[in-house]
């Protein structure tokens, strides 16, 4: 069963506008972590933001924020004031359990294109 | 600061040939290390992880193997490559105190 679902294969946004990338997850663990990574065309995976299941406030990192809705099991990434350099693949990932081996399960990704 | 290296950056190998990909981490000690594979246009699939020297756990049955001969060195190998082994291989590390994983630049493998 798929544990991380990203339903948007591709998204377009105008430069300077905000965009939301969707991510839903499935787990029976009470303690887990959610991550977003950016993968530009160069292939490197860049860590963007992290949300712990017990964190009461939504995580924010600069222009990135994570809209965490625990009851709906969603962890959407919001990018504000989009820039041309934001064009990339974006992956949502989940770590099950409190830590330990910290294995990450990745979604299929969303390709974001920022238009001038 | 911590740095993770992978080599080679690209590799083209014939079917049936052996494989050795290397990953090294600098600036940290006793990291958890991971090998992922990414097929074209897909997400990442965890192949192996290691919590210490000589300790390897396999996630997916396949003709690949991994070894960790030193604390900050992680090697992915195969005795005979298959066409389906083509992909983008990423190494990652994580310290025990943090949640996120940090990735290397990757190796793009093409098996012909």
Tens digit of pLDDT for each residue in B60-103? 868 899 999 999 999 999 999 999 999 999 999 987 655 789 99
Q: Which of A11, A7, A53, A14 lies closest to A32, judged by CA?
A: A53
Q: Dump pLDDT digits (tens) for B6-29.
A: 999 999 999 999 999 999 999 988
Name the strand (E) or helix (H) holding A101. Answer: none
Looking at the complex, does the CB of residue B28 fall below 8 Å from at least one CB of chain A? no
What pLDDT is recorded for position A56? 87
Assess whether pLDDT exceeds 60 at residue A100. Answer: no
Residue B49 to residue A101, Cβ atoms within 8 A: yes
Q: Tokens standing for A116?
A: 């001038």
- Enumerate the residues of chain A whose CB falls inside 8 A of the CB of residue B92: 45
pLDDT band (50, 70, 90) for residue A99:
low
Task: Name the residue in chain A with its Cα closest to that of B93.
Answer: A102
3-state SS, residue B83: helix
Q: Tokens standing for A85?
A: 């350099």
Residue B99 to residue A35, Cβ atoms within 8 A: yes
Weakest-pLDDT range from A8-12, A98-102, A111-115, B29-33: A98-102
pLDDT band (50, 70, 90) for residue A98:
low
Q: Provide mean pLDDT across the span A24-39.
A: 92
What pLDDT is recorded for position A80? 97
- Enumerate the residues of chain B whose CB falls inside 8 A of the CB of residue A46: 103
Residue A109 to residue B59, Cβ atoms within 8 A: no
- In this structure, the number of other CB atoms found within 10 A of the CB of residue B99 comes to 18
């Amino acid at each position: 069963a798929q544990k991380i679902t990203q339903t948007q294969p591709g998204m377009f946004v105008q430069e300077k506008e905000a965009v939301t990338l969707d991510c839903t997850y499935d787990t029976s663990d009470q303690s887990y972590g959610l991550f977003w990574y950016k993968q530009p065309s160069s292939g490197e995976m860049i860590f963007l933001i992290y949300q712990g299941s017990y964190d009461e406030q939504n995580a924010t990192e600069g222009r990135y924020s994570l809209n965490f809705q625990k009851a709906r099991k969603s962890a959407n990434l919001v990018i504000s004031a989009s820039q041309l350099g934001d064009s990339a693949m974006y992956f949502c990932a989940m770590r099950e359990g409190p830590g330990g081996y910290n294995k990450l399960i990745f979604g299929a990704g969303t390709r974001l294109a920022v238009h001038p | 600061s911590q740095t993770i290296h992978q080599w080679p950056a690209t590799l083209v190998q014939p079917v049936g040939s052996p494989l050795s990909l290397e990953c090294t981490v600098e600036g940290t000690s006793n990291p958890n290390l991971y090998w992922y594979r990414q097929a074209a246009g897909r997400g990442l699939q965890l192949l192996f992880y290691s919590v210490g020297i000589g300790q390897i756990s396999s996630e997916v049955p396949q003709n690949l193997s991994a070894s960790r001969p030193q604390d900050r060195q992680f090697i992915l190998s195969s005795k005979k490559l298959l066409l389906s082994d083509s992909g983008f291989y990423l190494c990652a590390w994580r310290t025990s105190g943090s949640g996120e994983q940090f990735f290397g630049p990757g190796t793009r493998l093409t098996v012909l």
